[in-house]
């Protein structure tokens, strides 16, 4: 990825943070939310093609009452990690109520394999969700700002490789 594209993506992410996180978090705390979301989105994108197979495998394993499911689910995902939640991040963005969104997002996070749960725990991301919810409740009477940016997919269509994601992560 060239430097100009890298800079556009970083600016795009910071623009969304300014639009959505302003008044809810101090600017210095934005990375506590942005970085885990970038990592989750990357994992979500990697798992998206095999989501249906993972859900079918999970259903079959549950029906057979097989408790040790990690290897089979990883095989179905074609990765060393998986997510058994019925949701993807793309599904969650269409949630109408904040309460439903939070419950569904927690279900989404809980659906990840134990190795990803460790990553989520190390980010202390669930703490950020609690803080976000309480701050959101205090600002409930204010209108929710809508990001002024077009979706990233319309601005940058090539997938990010690990190197590109690391570079962006270092800027966040």
Q: Taking the domains of the chain in order of start, what are their residue ranges?
A: 3-140+163-171
pLDDT at 79 over 50: yes
Of 33, 53, 26, the closest CA to residue 120 belongs to 33
Whether the model clears a pTM of 0.85, i.e. scores above it, the answer is no
Q: How far apart are CA 74 and CA 104, in angstroms?
A: 22
Q: In angstroms, rounded to a whole number, what is the distance separating the alpha carbons of residues 170 and 78? A: 28
Confidence of residue 127 (pLDDT cuts 50, 70, 90): confident
Q: What is the 3-state secondary structure (H, E, C) of 31-98?
A: HHHHHHHHHHHHHHHHHHHHHHHHHHHHHHHHHCCCCCCHHHHHHHHCCCCCECCCCCHHHHCCCCCH
> pLDDT tens digits for 13-27?
666 555 555 555 566
pLDDT score recorded for residue 48: 93
**77 closest CA partner among 156, 110, 85, 123:** 85
């Amino acid at each position: 990825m060239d430097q100009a594209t890298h800079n556009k993506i970083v600016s795009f992410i910071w623009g969304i943070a300014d639009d959505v996180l302003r008044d809810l978090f101090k600017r210095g705390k934005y990375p506590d939310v942005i970085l885990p979301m970038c990592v989750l989105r990357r994992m979500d994108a990697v798992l998206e093609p095999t989501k249906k197979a993972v859900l079918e495998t999970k259903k079959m394993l549950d029906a057979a009452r097989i408790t040790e499911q990690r290897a089979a689910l990883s095989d179905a995902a074609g990765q060393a990690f998986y997510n058994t939640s019925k949701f993807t991040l793309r599904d969650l963005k269409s949630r109408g109520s904040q309460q439903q969104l939070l419950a569904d997002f927690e279900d989404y996070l809980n659906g990840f394999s134990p190795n990803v749960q460790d990553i989520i725990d190390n980010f202390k991301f669930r703490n950020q969700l609690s803080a976000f919810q309480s701050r959101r409740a205090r600002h409930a009477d204010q209108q929710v700002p809508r990001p002024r940016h077009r979706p990233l997919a319309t601005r940058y269509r090539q997938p990010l490789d690990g190197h590109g994601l690391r570079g962006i992560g270092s800027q966040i």
